[in-house]
Structure 1
């Protein structure tokens, strides 16, 4: 496979890369003779005590090979033109509760980008639906043991999840999560609760399914759907009333009591919005 040249935007002062003579504008060609696909490849390959780099120098175009000895946790100090090295993966869903669809027009363009990228989940803590990931993608991340992965669950009912995400590929969530779990990857889960859609008995099923994956599932957060006044033409969703919020809190507290006895902590948490 042809190696991809990755543009180096910056080299941090007093870093290992700086000491090795790498400069801004140079290109990284490989680490340990492995062509780097994305930030996961890069982080995985540099997590060794002894690494080799192939770098193309900007000024001369010459290929140089560098050897660096370091502690396992030491970063090289390279900053790339693209944070992920690869392009960000956009969302393939059309969720009935999508907050971005409810934004007013005329705002900065970046606010309208819908990311759904497991690499950002690991790096920034964002949640991903896993719908745009193949089993090969998931197995690759699992083999590198990048943890945790934050998963937008919403419901574990396959048919209902396909409906809520408007994506026929959303049905096999638990199977994909199990691949991560079998590899020892920790999972944090989120449920966006929509009135009369995925709550009540559906919420019970989702909580029970996820709790059966403990200890791989480390947390379950339940948040009410966010609704703005810019929902014209979108799926009809109503906000929760005060008593309905109280009922949801009571439902969740019942599970918290069980988990506290079993695991020593609540495992599932209701968002602040339910309390105010």
Structure 2
């Protein structure tokens, strides 16, 4: 190759990366330019979602907040909400983890239908869920009638009914989270434990559960938060009796008719819980790829 040809080749080689760099720079500039046709509705959507929350914070009676939080009605509603949401989460863990394992690890006919039925409460109007619970667990219900006749147990309009309503609407969140964790877990650890002589129950308790513990924790937190904020199914199935079935959302609904500031205080508590849940789950649910 002649000297002039080699020189031309070197110039071309030098120009290639420079052209690529210029092309990448132009691409980056285009990406940084946000089209107005997208920016305007995006800002409107952001304002639509954040302004109501800002209004709640601005209108809050901060000067009398300690006194408001110490009122017996607020404390009773808060206590009942925490206790029933925690009990509902425990019930969801007891029933939901085996159900998630069944959906993730066992192949059977009608599996798609079962998964659809499990997730129905996610999209079902809560009031409809409350009516369904009444038809099944009410005194004249399919299950409630035998329970009442045999044991004198009646769930509607009781604290246990609140737990049942919360568990009904919140369990799908746990099942979906745990099923996803089980599908992503490495089954080789379970297979290794089985080859070493561990039984199925031992493998499930000592290997499977630790493997999917982060998914269980995330699902439990999300389940607890959903149970704490449940309104429709609770008021339909358990009623709104102070100290017995009146949870925080129901207290907000009642306070709106008599004391707006009390409703704002209760709403702020629920807002703080929601923000805390999002902060705890940010790596799993809100992290950018």
TM normalised by structure 2 equals: 0.22
Larger RCO, structure (CA 8 Å, separation 6 or more): 2
Structure having the higher Rg? 2
Tell me which protein shows more strand as a share of its residues. Answer: 1
TM normalised by structure 1 equals: 0.23
